[in-house]
Amino acid sequence: MSDLTTPNLHIDADKQDISVRATGVWIVQQLAARGRLDEIGKQLAHVHSKNNSDNDKVHWDLSGITRLDHLGAQFFWNLWGKKPPNHLQLGVGHDALFERLAQLGDVGLLKSPPLRFAWLYALGGALFRFSDHVVGFIQMLGQLALDTGKLIKHPLRGPWREVSANVFHIGAQALGITALVGFLIGVVLSYLSSQQLRLFGADIYIVDILGLSVIRELGPMLAAILIAGRSGSAITAQLGVMRVTEELDAMLVMGIPHGFRLILPRVLALVIAMPLIVVWTDVMALIGGMVSAKNALGLSYSFFINTLPAAVSLPNLWLGVGKGAAFGLLIALTACHYGLRIKPNTTSLGEGTTASVVTSITLVILADAVFAILFKDVGI
């Protein structure tokens, strides 16, 4: 029973007085052992049930405690209802702990009362946040227009080094992944369509189906979604970390505007790189489709390539490439918008990056729908 390394309680209940004698080590590592506090609590519940009046008659003898820390002291203190009991005996040097507790008194955490109509506040908050985002986005668009004007006026003073670095990171380094995904989607699309076309004996229309869908729709969409996930998140995280490390503030202090040196180069880079990536993805998807058309339907490569220009008119290509540039603009603006709004803490960084990718993909799909309606008579 009297193990010296664990907290122990000895309870002696006479007719009138109850004495509780604590011995052993009452420190956090011991008290935090699984089930120990419950066990002690159970023992003490026993005391309280026997002595159903008040605590005043209990004699507390803590002089047998060899080591006591703040957790142990706080445990007893809470047990006594945050005041010293009438009959108390303390070990050597332990009174300082209880003095500190008595001095501190009962300090509660200030909790604000629960709001009535909390849903109304939530709705209002959401509306304000949304309008704040919209205003911020429009402001950034305006700033971008001004910065572009400045660039056209003094083209030699433009941030060309940043632009070329971003074209490399966003464009050149994305060639591998876009090629792989484009090729595979081409293969899948071609296999699926060829199954259906063979039923009707309309094998040669595979070129029309693949050409039109890839060049007009799928190429730009695939490229945009991949780039939004890959580069949109990178831009947001980069700007967010610059906020955390105060680099953004340092730039402002040196008189370097964020719009001209951070946003403009990224937007320019994406507007330049996206159409190129769209063309690259188109080519890879068509090669994938061509390979599987040869396997599934026996169409020769030369037939495929020769028929393609007749099947897909030129406006479709321009439409696809133009969409690429527009998507690039949207992705860059969304990524910068969220990046500059990140607050200097880790949660905000994660939330901002997620919001940036989700929003830019949603915007790209929305814009694609708008394009589909606006250009429904072009090229088909």
Partner 1 sequence: MAMMTENIIEIRNLWKIYSSSVIHQDLNLDVHRGEILSLVGGSGSGKTTLVRQMIGLEQPTRGKVKVFGELMDGSVSQHVENARNRWGMLFQHGALFSSLTVFDNIALPLRELKTLPENLIHDLVMLKLDMVRLLSADADKMPSDLSGGMVKRVALARALALEPELLFLDEPTAGLDPESCESFVSLIRTLQSALGLTIVMVTHDLDTLFELSTRVAVLAEKHVIICASPKEVLALPHPFIQSFFLGERGQRAMTALNLRKP
Report DSSP letters for 225-244, one per residue: HHHIIIIIHHHHHHHHHHHH
Q: How far is the CB of 91 from partner 1 (least distance, A)?
A: 14
When binding is defined by CB under 8 A, the residue of 1, 92, 109, 199 that contacts partner 1 is 109
The answer to whether residues 224 and 327 touch, using CB atoms and an 8 Å cutoff, is yes
Sign of CA dihedral 170, 175, 176, 180: positive
Rounded to a whole number of angstroms, the minimum distance from the CB of residue 88 to partner 1 is 19
CA 231-236-237 angle, to 5 degrees, is: 95
9 sits near partner 1 (criterion: CB under 8 A) = no
Question: Is there binding between residue 191 and partner 1 (CB under 8 A)?
Answer: no
CA dist., res. 224 & res. 67, Å (int): 65
Of 17 and 246, the one with the shorter C-beta distance to partner 1 is 246
CA distance 259 to 254: 14
Residue 84 Cβ vs partner 1, minimum distance, rounded to whole Å: 16
Interaction of residue 343 with partner 1, rule CB under 8 A: yes
For residue 75, state whether it binds partner 1 (rule: CB under 8 A).
Answer: yes
Are 171 and 331 in contact, with CB atoms under 8 Å apart?
Answer: no
Query: Of the two residues 53 and 346, which places its CB atom closer to partner 1 in the complex?
Result: 346
* Alpha carbon of residue 99 to chain centroid: 47
Q: Which of 52, 152, 346, 373 binds partner 1 (CB under 8 A)?
A: 346
Indicate which single residue of 344, 370, 378, 380 sits in contact with partner 1 (rule: CB under 8 A): 344
Residue from 47, 69, 136, 315 binding partner 1 (CB under 8 A): 69
| Residue 253 in contact with partner 1, rule: CB under 8 A | no
Q: What is the Cα–Cα distance from 314 to 379, expressed in whole angstroms?
A: 7
- The dihedral through the CA atoms of 63, 64, 69, 75 has a sign that is negative
Residue 102 backbone dihedrals phi, psi, to 5 degrees? -65, -40
Q: Does 34 bind partner 1 (CB under 8 A)?
A: yes
Query: Does the protein bind partner 1 through residue 83 (CB under 8 A)?
Result: no
* Closest distance of CB 341 from partner 1, Å: 15
Instruction: Decide if residue 95 touches partner 1 (CB under 8 A).
Output: no
**Interacting residues with partner 1 (CB under 8 A):** 27-29, 31-37, 69-71, 74-75, 77-78, 96, 100-101, 104, 107-110, 343-348
